[in-house]
Amino acid sequence: MHRHWLVQGGLGSLYADPRKREQLKPEAIWEIEGGLGLTAADVYQASVSRSEWYRALNELFKRYDFLLLPTAQVFPFDAQTPWPRVVGGQSMDTYHRWMEVVIGPTLAGLPSMNVPVGFNPAGLPMGLQIIGPAQADLAVLQLAYAHEQLTQWVTRRPPGCLQNA
Centre a 10 Å sphere on the Cβ of residue 7 and count the other Cβ atoms it contains: 20
Q: What is the mean pLDDT of residues 124-150?
A: 96
Total number of domains in the chain:
1
CA 163, 120, 86, 49 torsion-angle sign: negative
Centre a 10 Å sphere on the Cβ of residue 119 and count the other Cβ atoms it contains: 17
Q: Considering the domain boundaries, does residue 128 fall inside one?
A: yes
Distance between CA atoms of residues 101 and 72, nearest Å: 6
H or E segment and range at residue 132: none
Q: What is the pLDDT of residue 82?
A: 85
pLDDT band at 157; cut points 50, 70, 90? confident
Q: Considering the domain boundaries, does residue 114 fall inside one?
A: yes
Give helix 2-16 / helix 26-36 axis angle, nearest 10°. Answer: 110
Q: Considering the domain boundaries, does residue 84 fall inside one?
A: yes
Q: Considering the domain boundaries, does residue 134 fall inside one?
A: yes
The boundaries of the domain holding residue 118 are: 64-155
Distance between CA atoms of residues 38 and 32, nearest Å: 10
Q: Considering the domain boundaries, does residue 143 fall inside one?
A: yes
Amino acid at 92: M
Q: Considering the domain boundaries, does residue 77 fall inside one?
A: yes
Answer for the pair 85, 140: CB distance below 8 angstroms, yes or no.
no
pLDDT band at 94; cut points 50, 70, 90? confident
Answer for the pair 151, 118: CB distance below 8 angstroms, yes or no.
no
Q: Considering the domain boundaries, does residue 38 fall inside one?
A: no
Distance between CA atoms of residues 31 and 1, nearest Å: 9
User: What mean pLDDT is reported for the chain?
Assistant: 88
Q: What is the mean pLDDT of residues 55-68?
A: 97
